[in-house]
Amino acid sequence: MKTTSSVPGGAGSAPSAGNGPDELPGVPPAGHPEGNPNGGLDELTPEQLAAQWEEEKPPAAGALANAASSLAVIAVGLGALVLSLAMGLGSLAAPQPGLWPFIISCVMVALGAFQLIAGRRNRDAEKFTRMSTAPLTGLVTLALMVALMPVIGFELPALVLCIIWMRFLGGETWRSTLLVSAVVVAGFYGIFVLALNTSIPHLF
């Protein structure tokens, strides 16, 4: 009479619960996020993705950082407000160059004041890091381009601006940076100089 083996894991023993015929104890099964060499992002549920993003996000900014950013917005808004008043406001029927900058400056000051008051309870703002200087770099380079345009035209400053923004701020490759920057400058030249014949300062 033929009998089955009683040795665990033998040919006649039933497979243990939870492990298939091709699975080993302690090894995540196929399709499990830990078994995916690419990180298993496609296998994660929305709840797991939310938990992962929560762990990886930068630390939250404190009350001091929120106050500093709000005061910076208020300062920029006040400076623009003074400059817009110097340019003249006029009226809605006959606006002067400073009217719309004046309105935008008032909105900036109001938003900065609101953030200064309500930002103490804000937990969505991120802590200042090395990447926090990227907006300041973009603003400074944009101001330099505007200052250089009346002197040497817009072509070279715009080209340098695109390169800085794409390569050093955006992290693009040199190939795509140079190609897109040249296309953007050529496009602006074709639209504003050749097609519309505007008075924008240009070198060529």
Average pLDDT of the residues in 16-42: 48
Q: What average pLDDT is seen over the chain? A: 78
If asked whether residues 101 and 167 sit together in one domain, one would say: no
Cα separation, 150 vs 199, whole angstroms: 11
Q: Which residue has the tokens 């106050």?
A: 67
Alpha-carbon distances, residue 18 vs 14, 53, 102, 190 (angstroms)? 12, 30, 69, 67
Out of 97, 128, 159, pick the residue that ends a domain.
128
Q: Is 95 helix (H, G, I), strand (E, B) or coil?
A: strand
Average pLDDT of the residues in 176-180: 96
If asked whether residues 148 and 115 sit together in one domain, one would say: no
The pTM of the full predicted model, rounded to 2 decimals, is: 0.50
Which are the contacts of 176, defined by CB distance < 8 A and separation ≥ 6? 166
Number of domains in the chain: 2
Please say whether the beta carbons of 90 and 96 come within 8 A.
Answer: yes
Q: What is the pLDDT of residue 58?
A: 65
Question: Which of 67-71, 145-149, 152-156 is predicted with the least confidence, judged by mean pLDDT?
Answer: 67-71
Average pLDDT of the residues in 81-96: 86
Please say whether the beta carbons of 22 and 29 come within 8 A.
Answer: no
Q: List beta partners, residue 19.
A: none
Where is pLDDT greater, at 118 or 186? 186
Q: What is the pLDDT of residue 40?
A: 52
Domain of 65 in residue numbering reads as: 57-128
